[in-house]
Amino acid sequence: MADVSRRVVIVTGGSRGIGRRVAARLAAQGFGVVVGYGADKARAEEAVAQIAAAGGAAVAVGADVADEIAVTELFDAAEREFGGVDVVVHSAGILPLGALADFDLQEFDRVVRTNLRGTFVVDQQAARRLRPGGAIINFSSSVTRFANPGNAAYTATKGAVEAITLVLARELRGRDITVNAVAPGAVDSEMLTQFLQGREEQRAQIAAQSPLERLGTPDDIAEVVEFLAGPARWVNGQVLYANGGAI
């Protein structure tokens, strides 16, 4: 039997990076955690094992976030395992780079499918199925303010994520569900490592952009998500820029 007193969270992109830290922190707070993953089942099961070793409860469920059938099954699995869903943290995303003039349009479609359609599909299920007192937490990025050359595709999708977040917060009037987005700056994660491939000298330059003179960590961002998932009931329809003051 599911523990109906336990709050339940689905974390997409929960097998690595920021999503993995979010899953671990919320599990430590007593959440039942569904670790959503795209392709790397082994990493997701490793994340679940670490949560279990720390005394938490978690399961790994694979789903393409842009596939409405797969996302429906992701929510079904959460309800079967834990009895319902209270919080959705949608951290899954991809970051391909390239100047707009030369950007491959098939690659552009892939970015839009994962980052934008994926957010729409996940939020759609969340809007239909979250219990009262719940929270939807999307991931934008501080690049929407930086306007970095070579980042048009990713930046465009994250701007759209912010728009969806603000609209959905208002559409859920009367449901006691908050909808917010977290917009990280540069975080020392696998995504940043891929971004800096062949340009490692830029790491120090990026870190220096913040008055705190360091890169963010996955735990820095997970802390913000934890706040929005729990005590922050009066924060709604907002984009929180977590970037150490880089802008």
According to the model, what pLDDT value does residue 191 have? 73
Q: Which pLDDT score, from 0 to 100, does residue 40 have?
A: 92
Q: Which residue has the higher pLDDT, 151 or 202?
A: 151
Active site residue 154: yes
Q: Which residue has the tokens 């929005």?
A: 228
207 contacts 186 by C-beta, under 8 angstroms: yes
Average pLDDT, the chain: 94
**What is the pLDDT, as a whole number, of residue 29?**
96
Average pLDDT in the 84-100 region? 96
pLDDT over 90 percentage in the chain? 85
Average pLDDT over residues 111-123: 98
* C-alpha to C-alpha distances, 182 to 4, 50, 154, 185, 222, nearest whole angstrom: 28, 25, 15, 10, 10
pLDDT digits (tens, 9 = 90+) for 38-72: 999 999 999 999 999 999 999 999 999 999 999 99
Which of 154, 157, 162, 168 is flagged as catalytic? 154
Identify the pLDDT of residue 90. 98
2 pLDDT exceeds 80? Answer: no
Q: Confirm whether pTM is higher than 0.75.
A: yes
Which DSSP string do the residues of 46-74 spell out, in sequence order? HHHHHHHHTT-EEEEEE--TT-HHHHHHH
The domains found in the chain, sorted by start residue, are: 8-242 (3.40.50.720)
For the ranges 53-62, 69-78, 186-195, the lowest mean pLDDT is seen at 186-195
**Residue 184: strand pairing partners:** 242
Task: Report, as an integer, the average pLDDT of 130-142.
Answer: 97
C-alpha separations of 238 from 82, 123, 163, 180, 186 in Å? 29, 15, 10, 5, 20
